[in-house]
Amino acid sequence: MKTHKEMVNNVLVRLREREVDSVNENSYSKLISLFINDAKEFVESAWNWSVLRQTLTAVTQDGVFNYVLTNSGNNVAILDVVNLTSNTFLKYKDPHWFNNVFLNNTPVEGNPEYYVFNGVSVAGDTQVDLYPIPNGVYTIYFNVIMRSQELVADADTVRVPHLPVQTLAYAMALEERGEDGGMSAVSAKALAQNFLSDAIALDANKHPEELIWEVY
Instruction: Please give the helix or strand (H or E) that residue 44 lies within, else none.
Output: helix 27-45
Contacts 24+ apart (CB under 8 A), 6-13: 7/36, 7/158, 7/162, 7/165, 7/166, 7/169, 8/32, 8/33, 8/36, 10/166, 11/35, 11/36, 11/166, 11/169, 11/170, 11/173
Residue 178 DSSP one-character state: T
For residue 55, the one-letter residue type is T
| 173-187 pLDDT tens trace | 998 887 555 567 788
- 207: confidence class by pLDDT, cuts 50, 70, 90: low
- Mean pLDDT lowest among 64-68, 73-77, 89-93, 119-123: 73-77
pLDDT score at 211: 44
Nearest CA to 168 out of 193, 202, 145, 146 is that of 193
| 113-145 pLDDT tens trace | 999 999 999 999 999 999 999 999 999 999 999
Percent pLDDT > 90 in the chain is 72
Residue 115, Cβ density class (10 Å: 0-12 exposed, 13-18 middle, ≥19 buried): buried
Q: How many other C-beta atoms lie within 10 A of the C-beta of residue 122?
A: 6
pLDDT score at 179: 58
- As a whole number, mean pLDDT of residues 40-59 equals 93
Average pLDDT over the chain reads: 89
> What interhelical angle do 27-45 and 162-177 show, nearest 10?
130
pLDDT score at 76: 87
Residue 36, φ and ψ in degrees, nearest 5? -60, -45
- As a whole number, mean pLDDT of residues 92-120 equals 93
Higher pLDDT, 79 or 206: 79
Tell whether the model's pLDDT for residue 2 goes beyond 50.
Answer: yes
Residue 205, Cβ density class (10 Å: 0-12 exposed, 13-18 middle, ≥19 buried): exposed
Instruction: Give the Cα separation of 184 and 199 in Å (integer).
Output: 22
* 0.95 surpassed by pTM: no
